[in-house]
Amino acid sequence: MSHTVGMVRSWLACAALFPLAACAVGPNYRKPVPATLGVPAAFTTPAPEGARPDLTRWWTSFGDPQLEAIVDIALKNNLDIAQAVSRLRQAREALIQQRAGLFPTIQATGSYSRQINVRGQTFGQITNAGIVNENYALGGDASYTLDVFGGVRRGIEAARGSYQASGYNLAQVQATVASEVVRNYILARAAQASAEIARGSLRVQDENLEIAGFRVQAGLVSSLDAEQIRAQRAQTATQVPSFDQSFEQAANRLGVLTGQAPGALRAELVATKPIPQGPGAVPVGLPADLLRMRPDVQAAERNLASATAQIGVAKAQLLPQLTLNAGINTNARSFEQLTDIITGRIFGQIAQTIFDAGRNRAVVRSNRAAAEQAFGAYKAAVLTALEDVENALTALRTAQARRAEFAVAAEASNNAAILARSQYRAGLTDITTLNTAEASLLSAQSGLAQARADEAQALRQLYLALGGGWDANAPAPTAQPLKHGDGQPPRPAE
């Protein structure tokens, strides 16, 4: 009973204020503050200080023109981005549909009838075909449901939030595609570097095998030396096909990411180039910056706003609906007489759901639960963003430390291998020492190449974690309506 009295009071209050102002039921959305989302004051992992750089086109920091060109092609032709653009257009049209609820619906009708007397007699105009009755009619109807309690405006608010979320989702897809291009480009160059190291080791081992053959022929050593070198060479040779396979897979992936056939970029990538290396440090700013810099976080926040507005949409269904209808009609026996008699009508209607077995209230509770879920998703997105940055910082620091140690190991192993070869040629050391030195050199060089690739990948990971790949200072991306004929699927062949 008390709920009914409160509902009546709300209706009377809004009716008294209409049309000067209209009530909007449901909660008014307020963006959650960082403290409620668990955002700390600073990152726990040590991070470089300084002004946060512009990360809109972060891949240019690697200084590789070919990489930049491939990213640009992918951002233009990638099919995942094309799908995200289509979803954004759908959200735009959904917003337009919601806005239409603020305006009346107007319909016009026109009719013409001709009755011919086939048998018997009747009054009318006599023609050669018989007796004819003609009738012309024109009419118009208008219907408007007043948004007294703001249900339509809450629906527009929800649709606008979904539209903006779709825009941020598009930005996230673009950033992810750019990151995937860089990742596979690094994989391709790392595979080439590893293959070159293995082939260089094979050339040295071929020389060692030739020297061992001369020493066997001279009777200085047994054939055991030659067989051991031959076995080690075969083991090294088994690595080359695996590296070539990794290169082919990365090149194929780059082709698909650019919206082309898998092998479209292979010819451009086959020439060996070094692993791209970016800056050694990137200032990350404050954790709270991620709420604005990360498009996926922005999308989650807009989804929360949309879900909150849906509560008001559902609550408006519990209150009376006021509809105004108007119409105008005219009809005549001839077209010239249409304006002689014109009739009009206007009436209003108030509708209130009396009993629906709790359906509408269940919708309100369901929408509240959906808003709670959206808040959880928003907070999860924020915490995941923080985790991504922390992990990327750790990965970058670890990769840099490994690269430095592998550089020392590679230099020492190279010196040791040179000495071992020289001593073996002079007969001052055995084949086991030479093989061990060559294996250590191959391992150190391969480790150094992998550490360089890991450092580049960690830097890529950090750029993506910081929200790189889109302009965070610009508003959410928007979509233009499709032109006639755009977006149509191809017709099947006849």
Backbone dihedral angles phi then psi of residue 132, each to the nearest 5 degrees:
-125, 135
> Does pLDDT of 451 surpass 80?
yes
pLDDT of residue 20: 38
pLDDT of residue 357: 93
pLDDT of residue 193: 97
The DSSP-derived string for 161-219 is HHHHHHHHHHHHHHHHHHHHHHHHHHHHHHHHHHHHHHHHHHHHHHHHHHHHHHHHHTT
Q: How far apart are alpha carbons 369 and 92 in whole angstroms? A: 26
389-424 pLDDT per residue, tens: 999 999 999 999 999 999 999 999 999 999 999 998
Backbone dihedral angles phi then psi of residue 146, each to the nearest 5 degrees:
-70, 135
286-297 pLDDT per residue, tens: 999 999 999 999
pLDDT of residue 231: 92
pLDDT band at 427 (very low <50, low <70, confident <90, very high): confident
pLDDT of residue 337: 77
Burial profile 449-466: b = 16 or more Cβ within 10 angstroms, e = fewer: bbbbbbbbbbbbbbbbbb
Three-point CA angle 216, 218, 220, nearest 5°: 65
> Does pLDDT of 443 surpass 70?
yes
Q: End-to-end alpha-carbon separation of the chain, Å? A: 68
pLDDT band at 6 (very low <50, low <70, confident <90, very high): very low
Helices (H) and strands (E) counted in the chain, each on its own, are 11, 5
Residues whose CB is less than 8 angstroms from the CB of residue 378 and which lie 6 or more positions away in sequence, other chains included: 32, 37, 297, 300, 301, 303, 304
Residues whose CB is less than 8 angstroms from the CB of residue 46 and which lie 6 or more positions away in sequence, other chains included: 393, 397
Percent of all residues in the chain with a pLDDT value above 90, rounded to a whole number: 68
> Does pLDDT of 222 surpass 80?
yes
pLDDT of residue 113: 85
Q: Which of 304, 58, 350 is nearest to 165 (CA)?
A: 304
Residues whose CB is less than 8 angstroms from the CB of residue 101 and which lie 6 or more positions away in sequence, other chains included: 145, 147, 152, 155, 156
41-99 pLDDT per residue, tens: 999 998 888 778 899 999 999 999 999 999 999 999 999 999 999 999 999 999 999 99
The DSSP-derived string for 414-467 is HHHHHHHHHHHHTTSS-HHHHHHHHHHHHHHHHHHHHHHHHHHHHHHHHHHHTT
The burial of 310, by beta-carbon neighbours within 10 Å (0-12 exposed, 13-18 middle, 19 or more buried), is given as buried
Q: Which helix (H) or strand (E) holds 34?
A: none
Name the CA dihedral angle for 282, 288, 289, 291, rounded to a multiple of 10 degrees. 130
pLDDT of residue 493: 41
> Does pLDDT of 15 surpass 50?
no
pLDDT of residue 367: 94
Q: Cβ(188)–Cβ(251) under 8 Å?
A: yes
Q: How far apart are alpha carbons 147 and 18 in whole angstroms? A: 10
Q: How many residues are there in the chain?
A: 494
Single pTM value for the model: 0.87
Which amino acid is residue 332, in one-letter code?
A
> Does pLDDT of 345 surpass 80?
yes
Residues whose CB is less than 8 angstroms from the CB of residue 48 and which lie 6 or more positions away in sequence, other chains included: 281, 282, 283, 284
> Does pLDDT of 133 surpass 80?
no
Lowest mean pLDDT, pick from 119-128, 179-188, 429-438: 119-128
pLDDT of residue 269: 96
Residues whose CB is less than 8 angstroms from the CB of residue 439 and which lie 6 or more positions away in sequence, other chains included: 232
